[in-house]
Amino acid sequence: MIHVKGLTKRFDELEVLSGVDCDVTESEVVCVIGPSGSGKSTFLRCLNLLEEISGGEAVVNGHDLRDPKTDINALRTEVGMVFQRFNLFSHKSVIDNIMLAPVKVRKLKKKEASDIALVLLEKVGLQDKAGVFPHQLSGGQMQRVAIARALAMNPKIMLFDEPTSALDPELVGEVLSVMKTLAREGMTMIVVTHEMGFAREVADRVVFMDKGKIVEEASPDDMFNRPQHERTQEFLSKIL
């Protein structure tokens, strides 16, 4: 689903990704960990062309990201993204937030989009919140709406960038639980996270990034119990 080789990203003089290699197969869940500033968000943003890549190969669900003819809208329909901040439209109700892109981009009829939105709201446990506005929701509820909104495009891949980092601790579990369900259903996912419990339980593979490179990748068991690289050991000793 994702093939990345020698990926580089520069912002002017600053090289932020220095040759990232990463392949993700269908239904795989890859968790990305690493210190702040190591390039995790930039890596995810490159995968759906929120950032233009500077060099190397990147093919996502058959779209060659180096090819100027790549259809960015098609790519973004197939690759859903959920950020740390929820980015819901504050002046729109929950259901309108979820219906917006399916109607505008997928050209679904309103009725069809609202049927899908209601199914997705049930999936994230918010079927009773369709008509409310974002400010009436908790952070965990907003983030579950953001996930439902991404799913409404029927993506093949989901990218999560620290989806629980802005939440009060007691709200983290409800969001992780929705993500676990998605993983169990076979969604292909890359998840940047500091939730090591989630990574241990759900990840097929954990990737440790530092200074724009993947330093180590391993099964959760190996990564957390037998990290090989000194920098991985140092990072994990600080957070575990």
Residues in contact with ligand ADP by the rule CB under 6 A: 11, 14, 16, 34, 36-42
Binders of Mg ion among residues 32 to 51 (CB under 5 A) are 41
Q: Give dist(CA 2, CA 207) in Å, integer.
A: 14
Q: Nearest 5°: phi and psi at 136?
A: -90, 5
Residue 3 or residue 10: which is nearer to ligand ADP going by CB? 10
Residue 77 · residue 107 · CB < 8 Å: no
Residue 37 or residue 62: which is nearer to ligand ADP going by CB? 37
Q: Is 141 in the site for Mg ion (CB under 5 A)?
A: no
For residue 208, the minimal CB distance to ligand ADP (Å) is 11
Half-sphere exposure of residue 194: CA atoms within 13 angstroms, side-chain side: 15
- Residue 85 is encoded by which pair of tokens? 């901040």
For residue 115, the minimal CB distance to ligand ADP (Å) is 36
Enumerate residues 6+ apart whose C-beta is below 8 A from 156: 1, 61, 78, 79, 188
For residue 213, the minimal CB distance to ligand ADP (Å) is 12
Q: Is 188 in the site for Mg ion (CB under 5 A)?
A: no
73 binds, among ligand ADP, Mg ion, none (CB under 5 to 8 A by kind): none
